Amino acid sequence: MAFNSLQFAIYLPTVCILYFILPVKYRNYWLLAASYYFYMSWNVKYVFLILFTTLTSYLAGRLLGRTTGEGRRKAILTAGIIASVASLFVFKYANFVIGNINLVMESLHATGRIPVLNVLLPVGISFYTFQTLSYVIDVYRGKLPDEKDFFVYALYVSFFPQLVAGPIERATNLLPQFREVHRFDTARCSDGLRRILVGLFKKIVIADYFAIYVNEVYSRMRELNGTAVMFATFLFAIQIYCDFSAYSDIAIGSALILGFRLMENFRSPYLSDSFSEFWKRWHISLSTWLQDYIFVPLVWSRWWDKLFNRHTIDGKKPAVLPNLIIVFLISGIWHGAGWTFIVWGLLHGIYRVIEETVIPKKWKKRKNKKKAVLWLEVGLVFVMNCFSLIFFRADTIGDALYAVSRIVRDFDPVHLMTYMQPAGLEEYGQLLWIILLVAVLFLWDLLNYRGEGFEKLSSFRPVLRYAVYYALGLAVVWRIFTSMSDIVIEFIYFQF
């Protein structure tokens, strides 16, 4: 059941109405049942997987809450982490590892092959696995007490708005909210619906429209000119941003109607003037998770310090360059079991290392820059990100390298329409529509740069404010009824 489907348009109001009608003591049970129904709408049998991950992490938390010896606590923590990661490995990475082992054996002319596993990737497994890992680690660190109510904990893991594609919530934020009494609030409901509307506009009007050209070009890359590949890559950068941030908007809006506050996941990332800032604005729930549970422990690890952190940067802090590379490699692996994702993560790690070692500290402060320099840096970060996204979008490393070579050899923006015609961009009206959509997104990101976009819209005159929302709504309806396909295009991050 996708957020952009008719089923969800019926499901969400039903869940919300019954939630506020039911007595308070039954509401969490209702949300838990509704969340499991939401998850099982994709594949019923994988409900046992989320149950297994929920149960093992819950038991690990309970044991940590009862155990005092540090050695035993570390053993329980390790067992809890292994139980969650093992499921993720089997379903997401096992065939990738097996395939590469088989390739090595083939190159060595060795006999015998390891059979691949006949499994499908369960939706949302990377998201709820990281959510259970953070809970177990936080209980071990003493940041929160172990959750004693299994049903409340199961709801934390499976809460339907953010179950499939985030945000990756923390137990310290979400668990206490299940013990609060939420009453229906008209203003809060309106805020949630507006957030959902913006998300639907990003997904249906922008992301799904751009996907038409992106998919066509990348499926026929070797037949098309480098100009078409470059333009499709630019469109993919907008597509993946709108697609993923749309899911977060709808998730946050849906939870808000019910009275729950989810963390922000995107905040105008393409207006960043550095990759350090970019990762503070892009997929915030993942980047902060990696910082808190991978990067910081590596920085302060004694044995790791002996290996890498002997020197310092600016004479003040431990050298973090190897840690940055490792964190972004993990980010790439988290996104997908393939060498293309690993290269994508490695590129972003290299970008961050370059920033830490080459750019003087005084140049990093945004307020000290002239506007021309600032926008030049914003453009450079965007172009470098587009380059990395070639590897993210391509099916293989060979395809990605071929795309890069074609762009270098054949890039000719003057004749864009000529090269994009085979991909379906045949009229200047289509190009103008793309430019208009990019302009609308750019204006929204400017307005929302500090995360106050909806508050600023609320300060507009009523006529202007309602005109904006009606225009967004009409655009969504128009795209739905003019689309040539009845198939709901899934969110990109469902595959992760």
Question: Active-site positions?
Answer: 335
Maximum Cα interatomic distance, the chain, rounded to a whole number of Å: 74
Q: Which of 271, 388, 294, 274 is nearest to 341 (CA)?
A: 388
Asked if residues 64 and 136 have their Cβ atoms less than 8 Å apart, the reply is: yes
Cα distance between the two ends of the chain: 16
CA distances from residue 384 to 181, 281, 351, 390, 466 in whole angstroms, order as listed: 47, 16, 9, 10, 37
Overall size of the chain counted in residues: 496
Tokens 């299994």 correspond to what residue?
150
**For residue 47, what are its two tokens?**
């409900």
Token pair for 329: 């490699």
Buried b (16+ CB within 10 A) or exposed e, 292-302: bbebeebbeee
- Strands 312-313, 317-318: pairing is antiparallel
Q: Which of 451, 270, 283 is nearest to 377 (CA)?
A: 270
If 0-12 CB within 10 Å is exposed, 13-18 middle and 19+ buried, where does residue 173 land? middle
Distance separating alpha carbons of residues 151 and 158, to the nearest angstrom: 10
8 Å CB contact between 374 and 229: no
Q: How far apart are CA 424 and CA 30, in angstroms?
A: 47
How far apart are alpha carbons 441 and 162 in whole angstroms?
A: 23
417-450 b/e with 16+ CB inside 10 Å = b?
eebbeebebeeeebeeebeebeebbeebbeebee
Q: Give 93's DSSP letter.
A: I
Please tell me the number of Cα atoms within 13 Å of 287 on its side-chain side: 20
